[in-house]
A and B are shown apart, each in its own frame.
Chain A
Amino acid sequence: MNKNFKTEKTHQLVAKTTCYMCACRCGIDVHVKNNEVIHIEGNRDHPVNKGVLCAKGSSGIFQHKAASRLQKPLLRDGERGEGKFKEISWDKALEIAVKWLKPIRKKYPEKLVFFTGRDQSQSFTGWWAQQFGTPNYAAHGGFCSVNMAAAGIYTIGGSFWEFGTPDWDQTKLLVILGVAEDHDSNPIKIGLGKLKNRGGKIVAVNPVRTGYNAIADQWLGIKPGTDGLLILSLVHVLLNRKKIDLEYLQLFTNAPFLVCVSEDSEDNGLFLRDKDGVPLVVDQKTSKLKQFTDKTVVPALTKPYKIGKKSYTSVFSLMIEKYLDERYSPSNVADECGIPAATINGLADQIADVAFNQSIAINQSWTDFRGKKRDRFVGRPVSFHAMRGISAHSNGFQTCRAIHVLQIILGTVDVPGGFRFKPPYPKPSSAHPKPHFNFGKDRPLDGPHLGYIAGPEDLGYREDGSIARIDKAYTWENPMSAHGLMHTVISNCYNGDPYKIDTLFMYMANMAWNSSMNTEETIKKLTEKNSDTGEYIIPRIIYSDSYYSETVAYADLILPDTTYLERHDCISLLDRPIGEPDMVCDAIRWPVVQPDRDVRGFQDVLLDLGVKLQLPGMIKENKEALYESYADYIQQHERRPGVGPLAGFRGKNQSSSGRGAPNNNQIECYKENGGFWSEEIPLESQYYKPWNKSYQKWAVKMGLYDSEQPFVFQIYLEPLAKLQTTRNLPKHLKPGKELEKRIFEKMDPLPIWWSNSDPERAKSFPYHAITQRPAAMYHSWGSQNIWLRQIHGSNKLFVSEDIWAKHSFMDGDWAKVTSETSSITVPVALMRGQNKDTIWTWNAIGKRSGTWGLANDVDESKKGFLLNHLITDLLPEKSDGYRWSNSDPITGQAAWYDLIVKIEKVDNKKKLSLPQFPTIYSPIATGKKVIK
């Protein structure tokens, strides 16, 4: 009875491109037949996913064929929020956009506010905004994970995820903290499997035990927002046990740097430097000062120094003094963190044992940046990985700094078995651009919008003291806001604060729903009119998206984007690269099928607008388009001579890597190579990269930097010390009096922890409320996908056993959850594996009725819900009379996970989650009932 199964699936064209279902950017094989996508699977040769593919990637076919896809450019034909549009041609759409944008650029370019969400072309969109001349550009990092990124860049010249990775092949103990199951999703899963099969151990710190946390050897169900305290307690124990890597601290970090500790001096808090600005250290042997880079120096860690009346002490001494303090002893932090002292002690011991008793080495000679030859790479096989769970708090920047300091004292960064950088990282803050704010009529901005400040002189104030950016990034309220603050944009545009704007232009960011704090309030700001003029307070909104998301209805002009299988893209080293510790990589997307609708890739549209607006860099001398298309830009554009969006197959003979002349056959080369390019780093350059001469040379050759950039890790962050010293600043740069105390306290140059919760508030709102990312979904895209919505079709509020019992909840019950500003009514479920004072739900499953091509009465809108309704961008008024921003005081990162609530059981006969919003009219048809 043998039956033959059909095998036609293999006789089709296999197009190798890059997934877009999350930010992991795996290689995919797309099987295509007659311009139709038949099947998607992982690309075995791809460095990111090596053939595997997650649930999101495997359901990409229904992202591509989604019912919610926009069909044609739309012009609003009703009130904002109604969802009534008329279809217009692209000619008409571009004509309208140009009519709006042209006078802005001529008269006041800052009145264009351009922010992007799920944008994987930030080096391009940022460049476009720079050429337009507006200072108001950023992507969504401010409400995502800027604490993690900025703390990492400032401290070690990189961070987790796209910056680096645990050494999955050699690590023996992995500690993960607050890890969302999306970023770097497949590499982490591949790595966890490998690690456990090798007998390695995993410790997971997370209030909720799902996903990766579920397979960990030990789970620490921490109280949200206390990760920094736990980490500093581990530092305390390790110091106490003398389990630190002294040589690593001495040679590769700023531990030996000398800090001025004379309070009267204007240098107080700053490093002792020579006349060329090179930091000085005391030599252990001679007790004399030497440049830290000196070939012969043996840096001392403990010796103080005095010059005249000025006293200097080492960073190391300051660090010891701070963290040996009993404040950080396990027994003193246990209650606050919700973790027993024995667990903290045991974990510290385990870390120390693996780092120091089980160290490994690779016999390979290398030369350090001081010129000293070394015969091996010593490795301490403990690694860490952390994500948004620890960073989306108002103490997140310092917490993220703390985890790097923990790694540094163990000597585990960029060593075998530890955390390893992926090119183009490491890259210290000093090798990144500074932010630029100088705008003016009819000209480009003076440089890139976003970057890393070195002190108050780099802040975003104009000479008259006014704030340069609409989101108030780089102001004293959040001086290191390296990713901008998209979450403040709608509020500030509405309030005309710091100034009135003309056009708000957004790309793929669901700001009228799951990406905003206090969604209801945000919707009001988008729709409110000036009572005198009858005009909208935010005058014009242009929006580009592929799908009918909740935000589309609030825009005036819609520029419909393609799906990820119909467009060109580059996953560029200039942007948010993919990469591996042993290789440099980048990748492309290309149109494996042609759109069946009247839509265009957003980047193509931006270039077209650029030509129509005559933006420099996008036009030739004869004013015609310099680039035929975005694909042409990808191949021809040079950011610096010889360095462009793609690093592979450059030069006339298509064989140059990193640097080389543009190649107009480059995309074809990528396609032939499987959609990506990679080149191995030579073994002698693979470790100790920040200090490894041969890596530095290789990185220059590859175009990652233009000159060698060796640096030492910044345990003590001098730019923070500079921000603390405000007395001698020129008037336009001085912070307001109300901020002075906060600035001094929070900008500690050594990582600190403070509690986000006020004991008084906690009495009325005793529980923490957070979201987790399901592995099978990513933001708002998941629950429109006809397969994924069968996995997580409606979300419940998971409560701990304690809370369940206290409120006598039963299966099928509903609860009213109340924060300091609003309430939601939601279905509850019991989950035991979570912190006892925490409630949680899956992120972004709730949908607004009428959107995303779904029927009006689906569970996603009738039972699903968001926590966003409970969260506000401004905290309730404090005793000082101010409503402080609900964000990190250093970077401005949105503090989503600081939310505190109370909960009560309610009788909800209608079984409807609250709040419910009116159904939006949909310009696209509801998706089919039956798919076969």
Chain B
Amino acid sequence: MTNLPKCENKKLGLLIDLDICVGCHACVVSCKEWNSSGDTKQLSDINAHQKEPIGTFLNHVHSFEKENKENNESEPFYFPKSCLHCEDAPCVTVCPTGASYKRPEDGIVLVNEEDCMGCGLCAWACPYGARELDLLSGVMKKCTLCVDRIDNHDLPEEDRVPACVKSCPTGARSFGDFNDPNSKVSKIAKEREGVDLMPEMKTKPVNKYLLPRIKSNFDKEFNEEENSDLNVSGFLSWVDKALDKL
């Protein structure tokens, strides 16, 4: 069993806006791209060109349809999901080797791959299914919030955000410190009543979701009085008079 540290300084995480996510998968692929490129090669693809390809992805977009009870319409929405960096992360406490840990300084949940034996207990413990056992390396992979970007002082400051945040075309993903009430993510989460995913699991996820805004509906019954009672010639004489006034 691994103990959870107290993370009193920072709580880094993602704020994901379901109102503007169009399900384009930019975040999924840019995550895969950053986390498998170059020197930190770590996410394998098996059967890459064969039947039933299985690769390790740290982020997924699920699509759902929900029924709008008022008008019986189906409202599809997209739901991106990666590790939520829970305050009470069961994946950490369940880890028998101490490979899973939560960084005390900012609360990011990470895996020390050298100590991971691929037992899969953390995946079993995570209620969100956010962990992925890399079949090739036999170790557990997960979202790191791109620590090798956010901690990376060789990158310009504006690029020190997770790859998914940088790439997201609609701006549905923001990154920041939820412990700081003045951070952009805290402010927006407060204003738009950001929610926890499955709060009943009592994992206290750091990542927050913004629910779709109430959709406007412009339907209007036909109102006879609003329509002009003019025929073509009547219409033209209205125009003629209006032009004289212009």
A31–B238 alpha-carbon span in the complex (Å): 65
**Which range contains the number of B residues in contact with the other chain?**
35 or more
Contacts of A553 in B (CB 8 A): none
Q: Which chain B positions have C-beta within 8 A of A38?
A: 37-38
Question: Within residues 627 to 649 of chain A, which ones have a CB less than 8 A from any CB in chain B?
Answer: none
Does B24 have its Cβ within 8 Å of any Cβ on chain A? yes
Known A39-B34, A55-B25: A320·B217 in contact at CB below 8 Å: no
Does A301 contact B243, Cβ atoms closer than 8 Å? yes
From 762 to 805 in chain A, residues with beta carbon under 8 angstroms from any chain B beta carbon are 775-776, 786-791, 793
**Complex contact A55–B49 (CB within 8 A):** no
Inter-chain contact B19/A217, CB cutoff 8 Å: no
Tell me whether A316 is interfacial, beta carbon within 8 Å. Answer: yes
Residue in B147, B167, B213, B244 whose Cβ sees the most chain A Cβ within 10 Å: B167
A301 near B46: Cβ-Cβ < 8 Å: no
Q: Which residue of A lies closest to B77 (CB)?
A: A214
Q: Which residue of B lies closest to A214 (CB)?
A: B76
Give the distance in Å from the alpha carbon of A24 to the alpha carbon of B66 in the complex.
Answer: 32
A5 smallest CB distance to B (angstroms): 4
- Given A7-B148, A833-B75, residue A786 in contact with residue B45 (CB < 8 A): yes
Question: 1/0 contact trace for A41-84 toward B, CB 8 Å?
Answer: 11010000101111111110100000100000000000000000
CB distance from B55 to the nearest CB of A (A): 5
Q: Which of B28, B171, B228, B238 contacts A193 (CB 8 A)?
A: B171
Q: B143 interface residue, CB < 8 Å from A?
A: no
Q: A434 within 8 Å of B by Cβ? A: no
B49 touching A52, Cβ below 8 Å:
no
Question: Is the beta-carbon distance between B243 and A209 smaller than 8 angstroms?
Answer: no
Q: How far is the CA of A192 from the CA of B171 in the complex (A)?
A: 9
Which single member of B33, B110, B148, B220 contacts A40 (CB below 8 Å)?
A: B33
Which residues of A1-51 are within 8 A (CB) of B?
1-3, 5-12, 31, 33, 38-42, 44, 49, 51
Q: Which B43-82 residues have a C-beta within 8 angstroms of A?
A: 44-55, 57, 63, 65, 67, 73-78
The verdict on B216 contacting chain A, using a C-beta distance below 8 Å, is yes
CB-CB under 8 A from B40, the residues of chain A are 5-6, 9
Nearest opposing residue in chain B for A926, CB measure: B49
A118 sits at the interface (CB 8 A):
no
| Contact indicator A302/B236 (Cβ below 8 Å) | yes
A212 to B24, CA, bound (A): 9
Which of the segments B6-14, B125-133, B151-159, B195-203 contacts the partner chain? Answer: B151-159
CB distance from A57 to the nearest CB of B (A): 8
Task: Verify A58–B222 contact, CB threshold 8 A.
Answer: no
| B30 in the interface (beta carbon within 8 A) | yes
Among B74, B151, B168, B232, max chain A CB count under 10 A is at: B74
**B239 engages A302 (CB within 8 Å):** yes
Whole-angstrom distance between the Cβ of A571 and the nearest chain B Cβ: 19
Report B-chain residues with C-beta under 8 Å of the C-beta of A53.
Answer: 26, 30, 167, 169
> Do A239 and B147 form a contact, CB below 8 Å, given A55-B29, A58-B33, A929-B48?
no
Given contacts A7-B148, A59-B33, A345-B221, contact A300 B74 (CB under 8 A): no
A362 part of interface (Cβ distance < 8 Å): no
Distance A197 CA – B30 CA, assembled complex (angstroms): 24
Kindly provide the distance from the CB of B189 to the nearest chain A CB, expressed in whole angstroms.
14
Instruction: Give the interface size bracket for A toward B.
Output: 35 or more
Contact across chains for B19 and A55 when beta carbons are under 8 A apart: no
Considering the complex, which residues of chain A in the window 403-434 have a beta carbon less than 8 Å from any beta carbon of chain B? none
B226 nearest CB across to chain A (Å)? 6
Quick check: A927 and B49 within 8 Å, CB to CB? yes
CB neighbours of B137 from chain A (8 A): 932
Looking across the interface, which residue of chain B has its beta carbon closest to that of A241? B226
Q: Which label, helix, strand, loop or mixed, suits the secondary structure of the A interface?
A: mixed
Contact indicator A776/B243 (Cβ below 8 Å): no
Q: Which one of A6, A218, A324, A790 contacts B148 once the chains associate, using CB atoms below 8 Å?
A: A6
Question: Which of B44, B137, B168 has the most chain A CB within a 10 Å cutoff?
Answer: B168
Chain A residues near B182: list those with CB within 8 A.
Answer: none
Smallest Cβ distance from A803 to chain B, in angstroms?
A: 14
Q: Is the CB of A54 within 8 A of B26?
A: yes
Of the listed stretches A134-142, A242-250, A376-384, A712-720, chain B binds A242-250
Contacts of B243 in A (CB 8 A): 246, 250, 284, 298, 300-302
Question: A855 at interface (Cβ–Cβ under 8 A)?
Answer: yes
Instruction: Say if the beta carbon of A390 comes within 8 Å of chain B.
Output: no
Are A789 and B53 in touch, CB under 8 angstroms?
Answer: yes
Q: Are A42 and B167 in contact (CB under 8 A)?
A: yes
Q: How far is the CB of B48 from chain A (nearest CB, A)?
A: 4
Which residues from chain A contact B231 at a C-beta distance below 8 Å? 324
Contact B48 A59 (CB under 8 A): no
CB contacts (< 8 Å) of A6 on chain B: these are: 39-40, 148
Measured CA separation A736–B57 after assembly (Å): 60
The interface bits of chain A over 719-742 (1 if a CB of B lies within 8 angstroms of the residue's CB, else 0) are: 000000000000000000000000
The residue in chain A whose Cβ has the minimal distance to the Cβ of B169 is A189
With both chains docked as a complex, state the minimum distance between the C-beta of B23 and any C-beta of chain A, in angstroms: 6
Q: Which of A54, A56, A210, A929 is within 8 Å of B49, CB to CB?
A: A929
User: Is B168 touching A1 in the complex (CB atoms < 8 A)?
Assistant: no
- With A and B bound together, what is the CA distance between A186 and B168 in angstroms? 9
A199, closest chain B residue (CB): B213
- The CA of A39 and the CA of B166, in the complex, are separated in Å by 14
User: Which residues of B are found within 8 Å of A347, using beta-carbon distances?
Assistant: 218
Partner of A832, one of B25, B65, B77, B217: B65
Q: Are A217 and B148 in contact (CB under 8 A)?
A: no
Complex interface: chain A residues within 8 A of B169 (CB): 49, 52-54, 185-186, 189-190, 193
A853 close to B49 (CB less than 8 A): yes
Which chain B residue has the least Cβ–Cβ distance from A59? B29
Given A61-B37, A242-B228, A790-B57, are A196 and B20 neighbors across the interface (CB < 8 Å)? yes
Query: A564-588 toward B: CB 8 Å interface, digit per residue (1/0)?
Result: 0000000000000000000000000
Asked if residues A41 and B48 are in contact (CB atoms below 8 Å), the reply is: no
Bound CA span A372–B145, Å: 58
Q: Given that A284-B244, A349-B220 are contacting pairs, would A786 and B48 also be in contact in the complex, using a CB cutoff of 8 Å?
A: yes
Given the known interface contacts A41-B30, A42-B167, the answer about A211 and B22 at a Cβ–Cβ threshold of 8 Å is yes
Contacts of A853 in B (CB 8 A): 49
Which residues in B have their C-beta under 8 angstroms from that of A2?
103, 105
The 8 A CB mask of B202-226 against A (1 = contact, 0 = none) is: 0000000000110111111111001
B37 touches A52 (CB 8 A): no
CB atoms of A5 and B101 under 8 A apart: no
Q: Which residues of A contact B48 (CB under 8 A)?
A: 786, 927-931
Binding site for B on A (CB under 8 A): 1-3, 5-12, 31, 33, 38-42, 44, 49, 51-59, 61, 67, 181, 185-186, 189-190, 192-194, 196-197, 201, 203, 209-212, 214-219, 239-242, 246-247, 250, 284, 298, 300-303, 316-317, 320-321, 324, 330-331, 340-343, 345-347, 349-350, 775-776, 786-791, 793, 831-833, 853-855, 857-859, 862, 926-932
Interface positions of B (Cβ within 8 A of A): 19-26, 28-30, 32-34, 37-41, 44-55, 57, 63, 65, 67, 73-78, 101, 103, 105, 110, 112, 136-137, 144, 147-148, 151-152, 154-155, 158-159, 163, 166-172, 212-213, 215-223, 226-228, 231-232, 235-240, 242-244, 246
A-B contact pairs, 17 of them (CB 8 A): A2-B105, A8-B38, A44-B158, A52-B168, A59-B32, A189-B169, A194-B171, A215-B77, A241-B226, A246-B243, A284-B243, A300-B243, A302-B237, A786-B55, A791-B28, A791-B29, A854-B49
Given contacts A54-B25, A197-B171, A218-B215, 14 further A-B contacts (CB under 8 A): A2-B103, A8-B38, A39-B34, A194-B171, A211-B22, A211-B24, A214-B75, A302-B240, A324-B235, A350-B218, A855-B50, A859-B51, A929-B46, A930-B46
